[in-house]
Amino acid sequence: MLGNLVRYLDSVVARDPAPRSRWEVLIYPGVWALFWHRIAHALFNARLFFLARLVNHLSRFLTGIDIHPGATIGRNLFIDHGFTVIGETAEIGDNVTIYQCVTLGGSNPTNGKGGKRHPTLEDNVIVGSGAQIIGPVTISRRARIGASAVVTENVPEGATMIGVKARSTLVAAETWAKDFMPYGTPCKEPCEPAGNQRIDELEEQVAALRAQVQALLDRAQLDQAEPARHQRAKAASQPAPTESVAKGL
């Protein structure tokens, strides 16, 4: 048991540069939330639902992290900071990292039964701060969910998801990222070279369109000035009336 605890603390240290020792990790709220959840989950499986909920509420009060007693959690879950919500039917694999203010939320079941309504996170998934994963979707192995992304569909293995509604960056994590990506959010370089190239192309198109619009405006001004120029030239070419004619008029 002590060996398992040491391995767990070492797994957290490997993913967090802040702690100087294992002792610091021992006072992390995410560590204590996981400890209390193990107790609550055992009570839940024993059908002692009230006691399980009581432990859950105590844990939430002490840590700021709400993990339903029914949630299934694998080895080495690291919840950094806290303020995270994990629903009843959520399933979390091994070596998953979840940053602050994440919700593994449920969808409204259409058949009137509870059923599976919360996400499944497979091994080595990283969920960035503020991300919302809603419904019985599957986040496949080594996927990265960027900060503040909203995920409502299945995520393929190794994908990096960003935005609202979340979309893939089309860059495989195996190609561009190391085994661990802090905060689950890709950096500007080198994770999204295609995105940078697309921005450059759009800027060139905007510059070309501006040049075309300016050329059209210049031509319109010339077209408006042309009749007035012809009228002035015509008036200048006509002979001036004589004095007698002018007097007669």
pLDDT in tens, 157-195: 989 998 888 778 766 555 555 566 666 665 554 444 455
Query: 79 CB contacts (<8 Å, ≥6 apart)?
Result: 29, 30, 33, 34, 65, 98
| 82-108 average pLDDT score | 93
Mean pLDDT, all residues of the chain: 85
- Of 130, 38, 37, the closest CA to residue 81 belongs to 130
Residue 141 has pLDDT above 90, yes or no: yes
